[in-house]
Structure 1
């Protein structure tokens, strides 16, 4: 680590393999907290390179506790967070809507870092039991088309990483790594990012991975399709702008997506959406994100076709049944 730090302090960049090896050593507990803190500080002093981020992603994925769920051809809908918008749990709700159409969702998530309620917070509140037991995860998929991989149970390397992140009290590149390191390696991923810089990083990294991916960033800063503005959208080799009208939906005022001040508030909105008691704006935001996920799996369908599929899942109660099937 001393040699790596000296190399970085001279203004050099790491190759993907160098980044992978450096973080692998940290994840195995081979370096002191002071050395790791110095390493993280480098990336507060200059922007991270996409190749470095790819190497860090490789290291954390390699160190994770893998679960082979490939037989389910799963999709994950997930955002980086960090957009400061404090929305309700749109991506997690979209997962249940997608499951209600008959697809399998293998979602990876954690407690909130900057918002009020992350995916782990709301699912735990609603009664979902976290586990890294593959038989339990498969049972959830068989019965509900959904399983949840609570990040702390799958990333033992974080015992060496978390104390330093907590002590530094500033965002680091780990804040955008989470969506990249789903230990089930889903076949499909819809990824929301919180700014144009991370959009570019994700696009460059995912172009090198064997995953069917789509990346979205609303032009006004949301890490998902918010319908509050147009959004930048990319799949392998293609990029475009999406407007609310492309979904057959209207523009939403940002205040309509607020997630409340507590886990209880978030859970109430969550259940209102699934029970058909949410506002039109809340429902439409969920439908739009579910539609993007469906469009990734069914690229020959139009976005409006996918909205229809998502709406049927929600209005028929199938999405709600999927939640009930995995909560005991």
Structure 2
């Protein structure tokens, strides 16, 4: 481990194989908590390297509890988290809205890192019980149009890292891995990243997976999703550029309009208000923007404004609310 740490402190990138072996050692309990913290901190101080993210991801997917969807083509909307913006849970709400529009969703998520309103925090507050039972999740998917993969249940080998991440309370390279390690391997995915360089790394990795359609978004002011507070960089097989609120047919928002509160209960209240149509116009708009962009990943031939309208109709019609009701049922 000392040799590894010397390499990391010298800012020399790990090879894909070395990164893979490092994560296996951590997962297998071969590294003490101080060593794990040292590795995490050293990697945090450097830009993301493609070889390292590939190797860490290889190990995580190998160790994960698999979930065979038996040919069901699903989508996930997921951000790295850790952007420090304290927004309400836009990605999970967008998933529910997309499911309400008729597109199956396999949502992968966990607890918040820099906020109290991560996907798992909000779902717990709503009364959802996590499971990695395949039959139950497939039943959720067929009945509600969405299933939720609580990351700790699908990546049990990472239990050795949990105390370190909780102690640090800052984003780490595990935030970078989260969106890339959905065990269901959805056919479609809308990724959000807090950094443009991370978007490039994701793009290099995903270009090699020709059977998946994807879009990677990074708001130019640091959000790991479409925020409508300004422009957002987007990357995908068929797109690369910057989208502005006008491209969605939506107004520019102020950062304070996206605040999600400090407790899961506050996050729960906003979640329900959006689905019930009683949320603020800003909260509704940002959810429709992300859900609309996700729908366009599935249907790239459709205009973005039409896809946003489809997302809005999912809320207005009550179908999105019905998805949550069935999921919690």
The bucket for the TM-score relative to the shorter chain is: over 0.9
Once the two structures are overlaid, the 10-residue window that deviates more, 40-49 or 108-117, is 40-49
Tell me which residue corresponds to 1:265.
266
Tell me which residue corresponds to 1:60.
60
Once the two structures are overlaid, the 10-residue window that deviates more, 310-319 or 15-24, is 15-24
Structure 1's unaligned 5+ residue stretches are: none
Tell me which residue corresponds to 1:286.
287
Tell me which residue corresponds to 2:33.
33
Tell me which residue corresponds to 2:20.
20
Q: Structure 1 residue 132: deviation in Å?
A: 0.3
Q: Structure 1 residue 6: deviation in Å?
A: 4.8
- 1:219 and 2:220 aligned: yes
Q: Structure 1 residue 30: deviation in Å?
A: 2.9
Q: Deviations over 1:204-238 (max 9, x none)?
A: 22223353211101111111111110110010264
- 1:174 and 2:174 aligned: yes
Cα 1:221–1:140 change in 2 (3 A) is same
Task: Give the Cα–Cα distance (whole angstroms) in 2 for the partners of residues 324 and 241 of structure 1.
Answer: 36
Q: Structure 1 residue 256: deviation in Å?
A: 1.2
Cα 1:164–1:68 change in 2 (3 A) is same
Task: Give the Cα–Cα distance (whole angstroms) in 1 for the partners of residues 97 and 131 of structure 2.
Answer: 22
Structure 2's unaligned 5+ residue stretches are: none
SS in 1 for 2:156: coil
Once the two structures are overlaid, the 10-residue window that deviates more, 43-52 or 283-292, is 43-52
Q: Structure 1 residue 241: deviation in Å?
A: 0.6
Once the two structures are overlaid, the 10-residue window that deviates more, 12-21 or 163-172, is 163-172
Task: Give the Cα–Cα distance (whole angstroms) in 1 for the partners of residues 71 and 150 of structure 2.
Answer: 20
Query: Is the 2:20–2:58 contact (alpha carbons within 8 Å) kept by the matching residues of 1?
Result: yes
Aligned residues: 328
Query: Is the 1:97–1:290 contact (alpha carbons within 8 Å) kept by the matching residues of 2?
Result: yes
Scaled by the length of structure 1, what TM-score is found?
A: 0.94
Task: Give the Cα–Cα distance (whole angstroms) in 1 for the partners of residues 166 and 320 of structure 2.
Answer: 37
SS in 1 for 2:326: helix
RMSD (Å) for aligned C-alpha atoms: 1.8
Q: Structure 1 residue 8: deviation in Å?
A: 4.2
Q: Structure 1 residue 266: deviation in Å?
A: 1.4
Tell me which residue corresponds to 1:323.
324
Q: Structure 1 residue 5: deviation in Å?
A: 3.9
Cα 1:258–1:41 change in 2 (3 A) is closer
Tell me which residue corresponds to 1:200.
200
Query: Is the 1:70–1:186 contact (alpha carbons within 8 Å) kept by the matching residues of 2?
Result: no
Cα 1:145–1:170 change in 2 (3 A) is closer
Scaled by the length of structure 2, what TM-score is found?
A: 0.94
Cα 1:261–1:45 change in 2 (3 A) is closer
Once the two structures are overlaid, the 10-residue window that deviates more, 245-254 or 284-293, is 245-254
Cα 1:268–1:36 change in 2 (3 A) is closer
- 1:312 and 2:305 aligned: no
